[in-house]
Structures are given as C-alpha cells and as structure tokens.
Amino acid sequence: MSSQFNLPDVGEGLTEAEIVSWKVAPGDTVTVNQVIVEIETAKSLVELPSPFAGTVESVLVEEGTTVEVGTPIITVSSGAAAPAGSAAPVQDAPPAPIRVVPSADLTETESMVATAERTATAERPGAEEKPGAVLVGYGIKGHVASRRSSRRSTSAIPAIGETPEGARPAERVARVQQPIPGLPVIAKPPIRKLAKDLGVDLNEVTPTGLIGDVTRDDVIRHAEQAKVFHNIETPQWAPEREERIPVKGMRKQIAKAMVASAFTAPHVSLFVDVDATRTMDYVKRLKASADFTGVKISPLLIMAKAIIWAVQRNPMVNSAFTEKEIIVRNYVNLGIAAATPRGLIVPNIKDAQDMSMRTLAESLEQLTLTAREGRTSPADMADGTITITNIGVFGMDTGTPILNPGEVGIVALGTIKQRPWVVDGEVRPRFVTTVGASFDHRVVDGDVASRFVADVASILEEPALLLD
C-alpha cells in the first residue's frame, strides 16, 4: 500500500514553497514525525515531518523546485497515516517510568531543557527505549537515560523543578563544564548547522546545557557574536562572467514588500545626533548586575525601551493606515529588522510594552539567534506595529529606512562611537550616535514625528528617564 504526502499549508495563507533539500531518498525507511524535507516559503525555512511510517517509494519533486500547496511531493509504501494527536502503539515494550514535573512549576528555560533532554535521549545510539511514533507537538514522556554522567558530574546539577538552597530562579542552570576529549558532542541539529555556518568546531565549545549539551549561546560566544556579519576574507572572482539568481521565495517577498511600501506610503525621514554616553554607562552597569547574569545586554536594549516609552507618549506612530480608517494600536509588537543569510526579515516581539528590562533582553537575544538560524516562523513576523533597524552593527552612522508594510514608523540606530562633543562649553570625547526615523506622512504629521524622535533621543541621552 502506498501513501502520498502532499505539500501542506505551513501557515499564513502561503500558496507555494521551494523544496530546499530532501533528508531521505527512495528506499529509505522513515518513521512518523521523522524530518523528510526542508522547504523555503516566502517567510521562513521549515522542516516537514513525515505523517507516515514505511519505506520511501519515490521522491516526486526535485530540490530547487517551487511547487504549490497540495502538490504531491513524496510517496511512502507499507505505511499508514497517523491521526493527529495520537500515538502509534508500542509493540512488545513495557511501560517506561515517567518523571512527572508539573509544567506550571517549570521556568521557560527548564521547559526547553526538558525537551532537549528527551531529544538527546531519543538520538542516543543504542538507546533501549523505543517509544511509539507521535506527531509533532504531541510528544510522549518516557524514561530519560541521559548522558549526563559521561559529560559531567550529576551532583553539580539540580533536578528539574528543584532550586539549590539560596539560589534565585535565574540561577537554575547547569554549571559550565569543560568538554571531555573523546566523548561525542551533544548538540541538536539546528545548533550543529549554526556552528557550521559560523565555522565553529563543536569539540572546542564549552557546553552549558543542563544535560551537557551545546546551546546556541555557547556557539555564538565561541564565534564572537560581534563579528558574525564581518567579512573575514575576500573571495576570488567567480569563474562565470555573470550569475543569474532566480527571484523566488523570501527574496521575491522582500521585493514585493519594499516596492509596495516605497510607492504606497509617502515617506518622511528625520535625523538627530545624540550623546549616548550615559546609555553606554548604563549598559556597562547592567552587564555587571547579578540580575542580568547570562543575558546579552547591548545598546539595542535601551533603544527598544526608548521606543516603547516614546510610543506611549506619541501613539500615532504605532498606527496602521487603511483607506477607510487609521487603527491606533495601544500595544507594541516591536519589530527588529534582521539581516540573515536568506535575506532581510522583520520578526517582532509581541506585547513588548508589558516586558521588564530583563525579559525584553531575553526576547531580543532569542529573536536574533532564531533569525540567524533561519528558524523564524511566519507567526513571529506577523502583526508588527513599529520596527527598529540597527544599522550600527555594520558601522553605518545613519540611513533612510523604508517602512515595514502595515506600519507607519521605523527607527534606525546608527553606530555608537566616540566623537568630539561640546559639554558645558568645552569639547570632550563622548559616545555619539545618530537616530534616524521614517514615517508614513498620511498618518504621522511633522510635529508628531519630531516629538517622537526627540523622546527616543532623550532616553538615549538620559536612560534614568525610564524610571519615571
């Protein structure tokens, strides 16, 4: 019996996708939920799991081909589809002991660790446990035969849900352990891909995961995150005189969005130089604070807080324009323009106005790392209200940003560097940056735009205003 798998709609009403790479070939045996193909939509890179168990009979679409949703892409023989939300029965397998931890008692970090622990066990060569296949999102819990003991001492690690006496919740993390030569590295596939892209040898990375696994933060730290986008060497000229790149997938979507924005919304741009010395001092104090241990702190965090504060004072910059009405959003889904190997994307942090400084810092870090791995979901890029583009990381002083479609405001943060600045009648070296912003002039008048930019600048000049 053969079962045919059609390209599904992965969300956001997308109608087509490109087959990037097949993870299986004809003759391979597949299980339910095994990743069989990687596809690229107009918004993200997605791995598709198999809904069938059996043997791959034929691959119907070649890599690099763009097909519409509903198109047959693979056939699997001697398999049956698993109903959503159910698990295939386990044959001749005794019930596995389960360590039950109420989800309400777990922090976000602990929940991620628990998932990673189960993943590492499932991928362990020669593992005795063989739980039944389940659909993605409906995992089952079984005995976790982790490899903790082979990587580190278990006495240094509190059980999930337990807190060492006197420790804060933020300290419920494994202690950093040096890798042991000769033992395999524990790292999930996305982490291995990130390490490969950044040229990082995982054997040289110090793991900090709770089960001795290498995390994204470990890889980024090892690669010196500030240098990720810097060109390390100049390549040789390509032998071909010309190269033709098909306009499809994300690049096609970017082109459509930029043209629609530039020629639909009348842009007006403003710029102001800012003495950000106190911001740099504030960032330094946050980095040294025990309350921010393990969190990446940068001037972008202060800029994000400044924009949220300025939006509250000037809500029209957080609107949406339609032909019939202007929709003023009394919440902030803060978009962060991210340059990735696949192109420019703008994921956003939902309800950023309700976040503490630490939570916002964690969200910024998570958003950036996920974007660089190419794992940003369509939902993460939907419903943004205002955007930051941090061109300072590329050494640029300023620019004229184009609005993200559906928004009426975007702010550009330039590089922060020491320049001569007049203070109390004397020229002194100060950390100076340029804040630029573009607005949809159909909604945002010049006085509103000016007040908003001035408010952002005032926070960068004196972050203590955030405490008011």
Query: Which pLDDT score is estimated for 135?
Result: 37
Instruction: Report the candidate in 158, 176, 248, 161 with the shortest Cα–Cα distance to residue 217.
Output: 176
Dihedral pair phi/psi, residue 248, rounded to 5°: -155, 175
Q: What residues contact residue 432 under an 8 Å CB cut-off, 6+ apart?
A: 273, 274, 275, 276, 416, 417, 418, 419, 421
In the chain, CATH 3.30.559.10 sits at 249-467
CA-CA distance, 204 to 227, in Å (whole number)?
Answer: 18
> What sign results for the dihedral spanned by CA atoms 88, 89, 93, 98?
positive
Which of 288-297's residues contact partners 24+ apart within 8 Å by CB, and which partners?
A: 291/170, 291/358, 292/357, 292/358, 292/361, 293/170, 293/171, 294/170, 294/173, 294/217, 295/358, 295/361, 295/362, 295/365, 296/225, 296/361, 296/364, 296/365, 297/361
The answer, as to whether pTM is greater than 0.75, is no
Active site residues: 441
CA-CA distance, 400 to 331, in Å (whole number)?
Answer: 25
Query: Which pLDDT score is estimated for 316?
Result: 96
Query: Which pLDDT score is estimated for 10?
Result: 66
In the chain, CATH 2.40.50.100 sits at 2-77
Give the class (CATH, top level) of 249-467. alpha beta
Query: Which pLDDT score is estimated for 110?
Result: 43
Dihedral pair phi/psi, residue 89, rounded to 5°: -65, 150
Q: What residues contact residue 383 under an 8 Å CB cut-off, 6+ apart?
A: 333, 348, 350
Residue 332: other Cβ atoms inside 10 A: 25
Query: Which pLDDT score is estimated for 180?
Result: 57
Give the class (CATH, top level) of 2-77. mainly beta
CA-CA distance, 117 to 322, in Å (whole number)?
Answer: 48
pLDDT by position in tens, the chain (length 468):
788 888 887 665 567 788 888 999 998 998 888 889 888 776 667 788 888 888 998 899 888 888 888 888 998 887 444 444 433 443 443 444 433 344 434 444 444 444 444 444 444 444 344 333 333 333 333 443 433 333 433 333 344 334 444 444 344 343 445 555 556 788 887 788 778 777 788 887 878 888 888 888 778 777 754 344 444 456 788 888 888 888 887 778 888 888 888 888 999 999 999 999 999 999 999 999 999 988 889 999 999 999 999 999 999 999 999 989 999 999 999 999 988 777 788 999 999 999 999 999 999 999 988 887 778 888 888 999 999 999 988 889 999 999 999 999 999 999 999 999 999 999 999 999 999 999 999 999 999 999 999 999 999 999 989 875
Token code pair at residue 91: 């044959």
Full 3-state SS string of 172-238: CCCCCCCCCCCCCCCCCHHHHHHHHHHCCCHHHCCCCCCCCCCCHHHHHHHHCHHHCCCCCCCCCCC
Query: Which pLDDT score is estimated for 113?
Result: 43
